[in-house]
Amino acid sequence: MMKSVKLEDLQKGDMILVKWVDASDIRGTLQEHAGRPEIHVKDWGIFLGVSGQKRQFLLIGKDVTEVQNDWGATRIPLELVEEVVLLMPREQVMKSIAEVQILARRIRLRRYRRERIGV
């Protein structure tokens, strides 16, 4: 049932695959950098919505803590998204991931702290 979809056709809890372009940090000649500086990425997980004030980000849930219902998520800038594919609708996902049932308007995302190394 995999098919390309528009963001507005998704509902929170759908399992999706997102194809997007990211920057890369690779050593090479100037010609290699100028010819192909981007890297193509595929991320899949649970659609948590679109969020952001200055820039919009597509939120994909990767994991969830059962007790607190805190989601770990990948945040992808919308302008870098090339395609979104629906892998499984929310109704099917709920059979395996009960937390999808209570996805409300606001999602609690786990906050990660950057650790300073060598300080």
* pLDDT tens profile 7-51: 999 999 999 999 999 877 777 777 776 766 778 899 999 999 998
Total residue count of the chain as it appears in this document = 119
Pick 70 or 34 by higher pLDDT: 70
Domain assignment present for residue 112? The answer is no
- High-pLDDT (> 70) share of the chain, %: 83
Domain assignment present for residue 79? The answer is yes
Domain assignment present for residue 36? The answer is yes
Read off the pTM.
Answer: 0.78
Four-residue CA torsion sign, 81, 111, 99, 64: positive
Domain count along the chain: 1
pLDDT of residue 11: 93
Domain assignment present for residue 118? The answer is no
Pick 107 or 68 by higher pLDDT: 68
Domain assignment present for residue 38? The answer is yes
Domain assignment present for residue 113? The answer is no
Domain assignment present for residue 114? The answer is no
Domain assignment present for residue 30? The answer is yes
Q: Tell me which residue range forms the domain holding 37.
A: 3-102
**Any idea of the CA torsion for 70, 72, 78, 81, to the nearest 10 degrees?**
-140
